[in-house]
Structure 1
Amino acid sequence: MSEQELIYLLALQKVPNIGDISAKKLLRKLGSAEAIFKTPKKQLELIEGFGSLKIKSLHDASLLEEAEEELRFIKEEAVEVSYFEDKNYPSYLKHCIDAPILLFQKGNIDLKHKKIISIVGTRKVTNHGIAFCEQLIEELAPLNPVIVSGFAYGVDICAHKAAMANNLQTIACLAHGLDQIYPKVHAKYEAEVMNHGGFMTDFWSGSFFDRKNFLKRNRIIAGMSEATIVIESAEKGGSLVTADIANSYDREVFAVPGRVTDQLSRGCNNLIKTQQARLLSSVADLVYVLNWDIENKEKQQAQLFVDLSPQEELVLENLQKSGKSEMDVIAIACNMPTFKLNPILLSLELKGLVRPLPGKQFEAI
């Protein structure tokens, strides 16, 4: 896109009473943002849904002045801009009716041919929630997914850190512009996140921190992902809003169950009880529902020789001798805890050497 068109698109983002849905309608009707601003008001009013109130600010010269100022920031900070019809725009997000017309990002983000999941939850995450989040991402690592979250306290930052610890790409969606970091205490993770993915937002630089911004941010978290996982949540919370948005986009939602007496499990339990989310007890649930195992098995079965780690060889040899066996039995026979056995079994499954059976049983193929 030309620099001139980008200025008009930025200005379009700032027009009062015209949101992303209306902006896309105008863009498809008139062909470009520049054409929108240069079309006479009377002609714009003939477009269904656009009365005088909605378009009265379109010819405000200050909008273009503000857009030119923002463009200077974009250039100075080497911000990448994605237009909603560009190839580099997140593919899942393209299908969301209220997706932003422009996205701004910094870092090393690569979403081509990637499995993308969002992980959200309470800011007051418990030790149990942290442990589950870390184990889940460790077990997902062989699938090389992109982990998306909101860079907030609690589950969000836990998901980002676990992704980076497993050398996975992670994307932090912000509720403000790229000229700041919130919360400030998380600034210490900024460079590492940039190296392992990056930051994404539809807010301009200088955007005021506002609670309502989280709702806009949450639609990007839910929209750019194949599935959203809620790890811990009270009866009310932002992560439940994200889950609701994901459901509205017809995406898979998973929730981690907990004891009915635990306050931070009530939100997840309610999602499961009301069938707004699937129960997530292990990585196998996610892999099965999203059909990730089928795709990877086909790729792996095409290989004649498969390299195995010593631990993978030990587990496979045990299954070949014993036939089908329960996970706990395999763990005892191989003298390893189940949390270490889980990712090994998943890796063997993806290599087409082991298949899961009902009742947490496995057998060699």
Structure 2
Amino acid sequence: MQSDCWYNIALTFIPSIGPITRRVLLEEFTLSKNIFSATKKDLLQVKGIGEKIVNEILQWNNPQLVDAEFTFIQKHRITPLFITDANYPQKLLECPDAPTLLYYKGTVNLNANKILSIVGTRMPTQYGFYVIEECLKSLPKDVLIVSGLALGIDTIAHQTALVNGLNTIGVLAHGLDEIYPPPNKPLAKQMLQQGGLLTEFNCKTIAEKYNFPKRNRVVAGLADATLVVETALKGGSMITADFASQYHREVIAVPGKITDQRSRGCLKLIQENKATIYTNPNELLQQLNWVNTIPELSPAQKGLISLMKQQEIFSMDELLQLTGLGIGSLSGLLLQLELQQIIQVLPGESFTLMPAYYST
């Protein structure tokens, strides 16, 4: 007797059955193995299931494909996430065409409370890099960043998330036996320690052109919102934004020059009211209701926050001089504020106030 996981994988190998049809069958038969053991009469009674699909189920006979996939995920410690599993991404579950089975390798919970997808062109400008850098360094550390591991904006989003201590997930358009594009192999390896890799495609599936829109729907469906940084009028980013809109998720677009081809897609989304305008990280947090409740602060903490509103970045020496505190007392205060995500520690032992607290 094969395991439930074996039958879950097998269900995805029947050619004519897509995610919507699989979902209909599972609602009727509950378990994948019940679908394979059902009679022709039982299958034909399911609404929307015709003779062609029924015959494919009854005549399917490729166990070697399932055996190979099952062996692969066990060998590489990949977690299969079936659509009926409790740890399947719940936001994605809300989408009618959600993948029936996902393959996941990583360290973080895919059901994080705050998930932001970031998409854009493969040929970004310095402006696009700046927007992502300024945004991600200001986000709370519990925000999960999702993108597609492509070159360009995707790569910048993943790399910047890692640098700023945010977990990040790369959604792939191929199996987990390879990484595409090849230059991102080192990045993907880093992400396994601070996020992970996710795909609906079995091993040996290469990055064919028609797989990318399928990947894009997962990028959109996983998240509370999709931030479009730079994009032309056509391309994967616009497809992702369209999926996000269909799924009733927030779409936020970064405006740019009207003369820049890489901003025209963003401007069109804004012009057609398909996206709101991104202006700064603080407004993004407020729009998504991600601004943390201000914690109860001591007089010393309030004083330090008030002082740090006066300029953007302070060195430790400057703070020691301005506060008149000893190194031990000041270090303790700074640590408290960092743990409360009120300040951010920058390279070179510098400190800055998080944007949300300039107005408090």
Tell me the TM-score range normalised by the shorter chain.
Answer: 0.7 to 0.9
Alignment match, 2:264: 266
Question: Contact (CA 8 Å) 2:141, 2:166: kept in 1 or not?
Answer: no
Alignment match, 2:208: 210
Alignment match, 1:101: 100
Alignment match, 1:65: 64
Give, in angstroms, the shift of residue 345 of structure 1.
4.5
Q: Distance in 2 between matches of 1:206 and 1:143?
A: 35
Identity %: 37
Q: Distance in 2 between matches of 1:259 and 1:100?
A: 37
Which residue identity is paired with 1:264? R
Listed as ranges, the matches of 1:24-39 within 5 Å are 24-39=23-38
Alignment match, 1:149: 147
Q: Distance in 2 between matches of 1:306 and 1:163?
A: 33
Moved over 4 A (4+): 306-311
Instruction: Assess, with a 3 A threshold, how the Cα gap between structure 1 residues 144 and 313 changes in structure 2: closer, same or farther.
Output: farther
Q: Distance in 1 between matches of 2:179 and 2:167?
A: 19
Question: Contact (CA 8 Å) 1:15, 1:63: kept in 2 or not?
Answer: no
Work out whether 1:282 is the aligned partner of 2:280.
yes
Which residue identity is paired with 2:155? I
Question: Contact (CA 8 Å) 2:226, 2:244: kept in 1 or not?
Answer: yes
Question: Contact (CA 8 Å) 2:138, 2:354: kept in 1 or not?
Answer: no
Alignment match, 1:16: 15
Q: Distance in 2 between matches of 1:207 and 1:310?
A: 58
Alignment match, 1:344: 353
- Normalised by the size of structure 1, how large is the TM-score? 0.84
Which residue identity is paired with 2:121? T
3-state SS of 1:195 partner:
coil
Work out whether 1:90 is the aligned partner of 2:89.
yes
3-state SS of 1:118 partner:
strand
Listed as ranges, the matches of 1:114-193 within 5 Å are 114-140=113-139, 142-193=140-191
Q: Distance in 2 between matches of 1:308 and 1:220?
A: 42
1:315 corresponds, among 305, 308, 315, to 308
Give, in angstroms, the shift of residue 190 of structure 1.
2.3
3-state SS of 2:169 partner:
strand
3-state SS of 1:161 partner:
helix
Give, in angstroms, the shift of residue 186 of structure 1.
0.9
Which residue identity is paired with 1:150? G
Alignment match, 2:244: 246
Q: Distance in 1 between matches of 2:226 and 2:65?
A: 35
Instruction: Assess, with a 3 A threshold, how the Cα gap between structure 1 residues 310 and 200 changes in structure 2: closer, same or farther.
Output: farther
1:305 corresponds, among 298, 322, 327, to 298
Alignment match, 1:256: 254
Alignment match, 2:332: none
Ranges in structure 2 where 5+ consecutive residues have no aligned partner: 319-345
Q: Distance in 2 between matches of 1:136 and 1:217?
A: 24
More moved, 59-68 vs 147-156: 59-68
Question: Contact (CA 8 Å) 1:8, 1:64: kept in 2 or not?
Answer: no
How many residue pairs match? The answer is 328
Give, in angstroms, the shift of residue 311 of structure 1.
7.4
Question: Contact (CA 8 Å) 1:147, 1:171: kept in 2 or not?
Answer: yes
Instruction: Assess, with a 3 A threshold, how the Cα gap between structure 1 residues 32 and 331 changes in structure 2: closer, same or farther.
Output: closer
Give, in angstroms, the shift of residue 64 of structure 1.
2.9
Ranges in structure 1 where 5+ consecutive residues have no aligned partner: 319-329, 349-353, 356-363
Instruction: Assess, with a 3 A threshold, how the Cα gap between structure 1 residues 108 and 52 changes in structure 2: closer, same or farther.
Output: same
Q: Distance in 1 between matches of 2:299 and 2:71?
A: 52
Instruction: Assess, with a 3 A threshold, how the Cα gap between structure 1 residues 13 and 343 changes in structure 2: closer, same or farther.
Output: farther
RMSD of aligned Cα (Å):
2.6
Give, in angstroms, the shift of residue 89 of structure 1.
1.1
Which residue identity is paired with 1:205? C
Instruction: Assess, with a 3 A threshold, how the Cα gap between structure 1 residues 307 and 172 changes in structure 2: closer, same or farther.
Output: farther
Instruction: Assess, with a 3 A threshold, how the Cα gap between structure 1 residues 309 and 89 changes in structure 2: closer, same or farther.
Output: farther
Alignment match, 1:358: none
Q: Distance in 2 between matches of 1:78 and 1:50?
A: 35
Give, in angstroms, the shift of residue 61 of structure 1.
4.4
Q: Which has the higher helix share?
A: 1
Offset from partner CA, 1:77-124 (integer Å, 9 cap, x none):
100111212221112111111111111111212234431000000001
Q: Distance in 1 between matches of 2:195 and 2:251?
A: 23
Question: Contact (CA 8 Å) 1:85, 1:94: kept in 2 or not?
Answer: no
Which residue identity is paired with 1:241? I
3-state SS of 1:58 partner:
helix
Q: Distance in 1 between matches of 2:304 and 2:188?
A: 35
